[in-house]
Amino acid sequence: METDTDGAIPVTILSGSLGAGKTTLLNHLLSSADRTLAVLVNDMGDVNVDAELVAEGSDLEIDDGVAELSNGCICCELQDDLETAVVRLARDRSFDHLVVESSGISEPAPVARLFTTESRVAARYDVDTLVTVLDTPAFLETFAGEDRPTRRGDEADRPLSDLLVEQVEVSNLVLLNKADLCSDAELETADDLVSALQPEAETISTTFSAVDPDRLLGAGLFGSGRVIDRPGWRRALEATADHDHDESEHAAHDGQRAETGERHDHHHPEDVYGVSSFVYRSRRPFHPERFASVLRTLPRSIVRSKGTAWLAGTEMRLSIAQAGPSVRATAQGPWIASLPEVERDMYRSNRPDLEWHDEHGDRRTELVVIGTDYDEGALRAALEDALVTDEEWETAFDGGPFPTTQGAETVVREP
């Protein structure tokens, strides 16, 4: 099989947690695909165990990071810069399709962006499909079970739940691997969770990562001009934006109700996926300690929360990212409304679609919540109770447990 007629080599980017079945999948592709593959393997250790396992069927050992496999394919360790490695591959060796396995502890999005931005890599390759392999029992345990997921790396690193969510959110195709260890109901739940996190992703239930290679190679699921990260939480925000704008205009005539955020008692279920979601918006800031308490006590049935929060005591936009038992907050930068007038006007002129409140400017809370079998009313009430009261509005808060310096990150809840 030849490469694309325009000379660009299709590339499949493979991600998944440690032990999910990526190496088994790679060996399956190498032994059954009807095309010549190049496999670029990146492992987390000093010794690239994955590359050795993938190449174990070859008569040749890895030499300088490259193994010629018995079926004509090649396997390469990622020993140097990824961009340099893939350009060198395209220049020096002949193959039909590149498979890049990102490390089990890394996020696939930066790898994918390398192939989609203006670079010498993008000129030689076309992204075909972003594939995530899930250890389905572990995935369900992480987001639905009582046991807490293990951490990856040292204590400064993010927990596994964060990584699992991000790997699913950027995928086009998700393999629900180890399906033989799950009931039909569990597989359905896993499929629902994946669909809520990434509505456009296809799912395939597999055992020992056995899948038709044509579902992963040459599938064209990524498509030209596609945006990499269009996860479920972002879609939920966009889907409700126009409706909420209409609601806010109506509520603006109702005094304090528009100010406190009580205007958003409508529900936006994603019933088609079996997992519900809603968007919470408010034009009143959170009390730091009460808001932290809400985040720390989110029920286990909440799989993903993501968005921006307005916190009393700081002029920093606060980014909230919750994945299962993990909750993190990052100070993204100042609200435009807090900038000097000249700078503020410049930003506003460059962003004509920016929603602007006469009194509060761009300051607002906008959170997406995705989960299964949770009490939306109770959660909305808890968020409302965490807002500052009229009496507290002018109180000088210090940010509490949240970061107040741009770029700083705080762990609000950890496994």
Would you say the CATH fold of 232-413 matches that of 9-215? no
Report pLDDT for 144: 65
Closest by alpha carbon to 334, among 365, 310, 306? 310
User: Distance (Å, rounded) from C-alpha 222 to C-alpha 240?
Assistant: 25
Torsions phi, psi for 318 (to 5 deg): -105, 120
Q: Which CATH class is domain 232-413?
A: alpha beta
Per-residue pLDDT of the chain (415 residues; tens, 9 = 90+): 344 446 789 999 898 887 888 888 988 888 888 888 888 876 543 334 444 545 444 433 334 444 444 444 545 555 446 777 788 788 877 889 988 887 655 667 777 888 887 777 888 888 899 999 999 998 988 886 544 444 343 334 556 678 888 889 888 899 999 999 999 999 998 998 898 888 888 999 999 999 999 999 988 888 755 555 566 666 666 666 544 444 443 333 333 333 444 434 333 334 433 478 889 999 999 999 999 999 999 988 888 898 999 999 999 999 999 988 889 999 999 999 999 999 999 999 988 888 899 999 999 999 999 888 789 999 999 999 999 999 998 888 888 899 999 999 999 998 7
**Residue 176: predicted pLDDT:** 97
HSE-CB for 149 with a 13 A CA cutoff: 28
**Do 175 and 21 form a contact (C-beta atoms < 8 A)?**
yes
What class does CATH assign to 9-215? alpha beta
Name residues whose C-beta falls within 8 Å of residue 193's C-beta, 6 or more positions apart in sequence.
139, 140, 143, 144, 275, 303, 372
CA angle, 26 as apex, 193 and 39 as ends, to 5°? Answer: 115
Helix then strand count (H, E) for the chain reads 12, 14
The per-residue pLDDT for 143 is: 81
Find, among 335, 334, 309, the residue nearest to 322 by Cα. 309
pLDDT of residue 411: 93
Domain coordinates in residue numbering, the chain: 9-215, 232-413
Position 379 scores a pLDDT of 95
Q: Round to whole Å and give the CA distance between 311 and 85.
A: 45
Cα distance between residue 388 and residue 72, in whole Å: 66
